[in-house]
Structure 1
């Protein structure tokens, strides 16, 4: 069902130029999220590696993961274009803004996914390639429609969000081993406070867009706050698992223990009194967690 003129956010439509087209191509890939999954795939490779870096594998992993993940993000733009048109935060995106047709964006997304899969297949292994394609299928085919049917969609969406780390470890080992699953757990748990903070901050916008997010459910605000705290505490435990299984050293162990402890502070604060300001601090803490985690992974690899 197309949004009515009264429900859609009015935006000025400009004639596309070469520069705006390139900008729109970039926006369709959701570069922030795509960069994140690329970093996590690289972290998975470095933690899983038992010898020197195979740069062909690592660079192929990063390029292929970026293309398949970006292609999935572009397909998400296509599927959610009418809902995005209702929200001020997303109304100016390429499709609801009228600068690109759905068929154009779909073709672009498909090319990204196919090229990414080919890069992964030729530089890594079938397991890593399969996990990347599974990520696309789950993100677009399962998580995206669930956002309009259940407030617990984030619990499902965190699965494709965590698969790139598992794929990175598989690129190094050729198997689904303990370190890969440990990384999957870290990334899965990290996403819950991150995206619940966003769901809280933009809860009214999500309602206008027709997305069912946890704050809109009965007692959803307290449930969300409790899940933020629970996920943060579990993340503290999951963060040290790579060291517990013998794939990381004492620096990583100490660093992750400190990082996980620091992350629980804004989570406890938000749990005690959920407010927009505390949700924003939680979001910023989750954003800072990623580069700190990657620095620890690289440092641990270099010290082996």
Structure 2
């Protein structure tokens, strides 16, 4: 593998692309699939979404190359280190993003393509610049973060009804304690780069972890809603209840005893939460 190819792959943030694809697969599998929703459609949805996610992440790195050069966590990325030039990155990013949206429109359906395009536009042109201007950027950024699960649902041909929006709400709310904990751990980096994260303006951590606790508490009833509505059964309900109470507890502990250690524990709980919850939901629907 050439150094340029390795740098282009790194530019896409492969782990984030994988998480996005996982949410698409979950959305597809839990949707009440109409007749004709085949496995090949899921494959096409995953491929198209991966391309759009790769392009979105690459465009984000193009836009934030000055910030990445300042932050210790991101100084080794391809653009700050000069392993790629900006023109290469832009061409690659737009090619991947446009190819992904086109692929979804041709091989899946128009709604899935529109949702993917909305994800790219809102992440790159709304969330990314807002990070320099307001602490509300984290909330805004949770919207494009949650849209892919709707894309997976829409790929089946099912309409975006109440159950789909509950799934969106779960992914939306989950992101907030997750990223608030991460922002606290890297608050010095964000301060150095001039980004308007809540943790940068919160010297004692009370605002940061109060919000994390509020969003974790809000996630509890939303995560249980699929079971309460009869869409999934008791195994999911019990698992979702345990996971959500764990996240609330981790958030409250971080609020009561503010420390990097408790922030890291909250972040770890959030990393476990979403994939396990989605697996429980998928297994329940497939049972």
When normalised by structure 1's length, the TM-score is 0.90
SS at match of 2:79: coil
User: Which is worse superposed, 167-176 or 28-37?
Assistant: 167-176
Question: What is the CA-CA distance between 1:60 and the residue it aligns to?
Answer: 1.1
Aligned partners of 1:174 and 1:287: how far apart in 2? 29
Aligned partners of 1:216 and 1:291: how far apart in 2? 29
Question: What is the CA-CA distance between 1:174 and the residue it aligns to?
Answer: 3.5
Name the counterpart of 1:21: 4
Aligned partners of 1:121 and 1:213: how far apart in 2? 36
Matching residue within 167, 170, 174 for 1:183 = 167
Unaligned runs of 5+ in 2: none
| Residue 139 of structure 2 is aligned to residue 163 of structure 1 | no
| Residue 209 of structure 2 is aligned to residue 225 of structure 1 | yes
Question: What is the CA-CA distance between 1:218 and the residue it aligns to?
Answer: 5.4
Name the counterpart of 1:240: 224
| Residue 15 of structure 2 is aligned to residue 32 of structure 1 | yes
CA contact (8 A) 2:12 2:55 kept: yes
Aligned partners of 2:226 and 2:52: how far apart in 1? 26
SS at match of 2:205: helix
CA contact (8 A) 1:68 1:113 kept: yes
Unaligned runs of 5+ in 1: 1-17
| Residue 117 of structure 2 is aligned to residue 128 of structure 1 | no
Name the counterpart of 1:116: 100
Question: What is the CA-CA distance between 1:219 and the residue it aligns to?
Answer: 6.5
Name the counterpart of 1:69: 53
Aligned partners of 2:230 and 2:112: how far apart in 1? 22
CA contact (8 A) 1:48 1:173 kept: no
CA contact (8 A) 2:171 2:274 kept: no
Question: What is the CA-CA distance between 1:124 and the residue it aligns to?
Answer: 1.9
User: Which is worse superposed, 250-259 or 135-144?
Assistant: 250-259
Q: How does 1:1-304 map to 2 (within 5 A)?
A: 18-50=1-33, 54-217=38-201, 221-303=205-287
* Matched length: 286
Once the two structures are superposed, residues 110-135 of structure 1 have per-residue CA deviations (whole angstroms, 9 ceiling, x without a partner) of 11112211221123211111010000
Alpha carbons of structure 1 residues 86 and 219: separation in structure 2 relative to 1, 3 Å:
closer
Alpha carbons of structure 1 residues 32 and 226: separation in structure 2 relative to 1, 3 Å:
same
Alpha carbons of structure 1 residues 179 and 220: separation in structure 2 relative to 1, 3 Å:
farther
CA contact (8 A) 2:233 2:284 kept: yes
Aligned partners of 1:24 and 1:33: how far apart in 2? 16
Aligned partners of 1:76 and 1:292: how far apart in 2? 28
CA contact (8 A) 2:174 2:274 kept: no
CA contact (8 A) 1:214 1:220 kept: no
Q: Structure 1 stretches (4+) deviating beyond 4 angstroms? A: none
Aligned partners of 1:43 and 1:209: how far apart in 2? 36
Q: Which has the higher helix share?
A: 2
Question: What is the CA-CA distance between 1:276 and the residue it aligns to?
Answer: 0.3
Aligned partners of 1:249 and 1:202: how far apart in 2? 39
Aligned partners of 1:104 and 1:262: how far apart in 2? 44
User: Considering only aligned residues, what root-mean-square deviation do their CA atoms show, in Å?
Assistant: 1.6
Question: What is the CA-CA distance between 1:95 and the residue it aligns to?
Answer: 0.3
